[in-house]
Amino acid sequence: MISRTKGIVLHTVNFSETSVIAKVYTETYGMQSYMLNGVRKSKSKFKANLLQPLSLVELIAHQKENRDLQRVSDIIASPLLINIPYDVAKSSLAFFIAEVLYKSIREEEANKNLFAFLVNHIQLLDHSETSCKQFHHYFLMQLTKHLGFFPNGDCNDAFFVFDMREGVYLTALPPYPEFINSQQAILLHQITNSDFENHHQIEMSGEARRELLNNILHYYELHALHGAKINSHKVLEEVLG
């Protein structure tokens, strides 16, 4: 049947000289793969910028149940991103976040709360005029609420160790190496309990930000990445410092 749905472009791969397969997280069907024929032609009716990471789109597709690859008949921006495609820092963040989402989300069914969260935060990043150097830390920890491994408890003088296996703060070191403590545990707790308006105000050096991101990605590896590795954060180190 012909179906219309909103979606978020996460990943693309060339299929032939003129066609592309796009991995799109949709409002109606969850994670889907779509074939876009002729998108790489010079006179294609599809605009290539619609397939950039985190592009917000509306798709008209021939949707068939139990089919791994759906065919797109039309795709438009919904809405058009204003800054992410043209700002080096924001476009690098979009590439990184799209990779994490592509490798973390396995749902092939609708999750309207998750979809609304993603659309809202993509638009916040697009329109934000404040520093985005800590946006990805904040975003990834908020995303854990929707993926099912949001940290429990508080970090304080008694509970000063974060157990990454169990997602809780402890009073002593666990008998395995998947934990963080001291200043990194404090920063993780601060960024986890911040909101969009104040997350950028948390004081972190460039080295601390990089270490915290590596710890968050390790946390994702334990709970969401299904054995996959994230690589694009290395570009962020060069772009964001």
pLDDT digits (tens, 9 = 90+) for 23-67: 999 999 999 999 988 776 767 677 778 899 999 999 999 888 878
Tens of pLDDT, residue by residue over 181-212, are 999 999 999 999 999 999 999 999 999 999 99
Residue 129: its pLDDT value, please? 93
Q: Which three-class secondary structure string do you get for the chain?
A: CEEEEEEEEEEEEECCCCCEEEEEEECCCEEEEEEECCCCCCCCCCCHHHHCCCCEEEEEEECCCCCCCEEEEEEEECCCCCCCCCCHHHHHHHHHHHHHHHHHCCCCCCCHHHHHHHHHHHHHHHHCCCCCCCHHHHHHHHHHHHHCCCCECCCCCCCCEEECCCCEEECCCCCCCCEEEHHHHHHHHHHHCCCCCCHHHCCCCHHHHHHHHHHHHHHHHHHCCCCCCCCCHHHHHHHHC
Q: Which residues pair with 23 in a beta bridge?
A: 11, 33
Percent above pLDDT 90 for the chain:
76
pLDDT band at 157 (very low <50, low <70, confident <90, very high): confident
pLDDT band at 158 (very low <50, low <70, confident <90, very high): confident
Cβ–Cβ under 8 Å, residues 82 and 90: no
- Token pair listed for 48: 């290539």
Q: How are beta strands 56-62 and 70-77 bridged, if at all?
A: antiparallel
Q: What is the average pLDDT across 126-151?
A: 96
Q: What is the average pLDDT across 68-82?
A: 92
| pLDDT of 146 higher than 80 | yes
| pLDDT of 241 higher than 80 | no
28's CB contacts (< 8 A; 6+ apart) are 3, 5, 6, 110
Q: How are beta strands 70-77 and 30-36 bridged, if at all?
A: parallel
Tens of pLDDT, residue by residue over 97-130, are 999 999 999 877 899 999 999 999 999 999 999 9
Residue 49: its pLDDT value, please? 80
Residue 117: its pLDDT value, please? 98
Global pTM value: 0.94
- Token pair listed for 233: 């954060």
Residue 91: its pLDDT value, please? 96
Residue 94: its pLDDT value, please? 97
Choose between 233 and 166: higher pLDDT: 166
Residue 125: its pLDDT value, please? 98
Residue 1: its pLDDT value, please? 82
Mean pLDDT score of the chain: 93
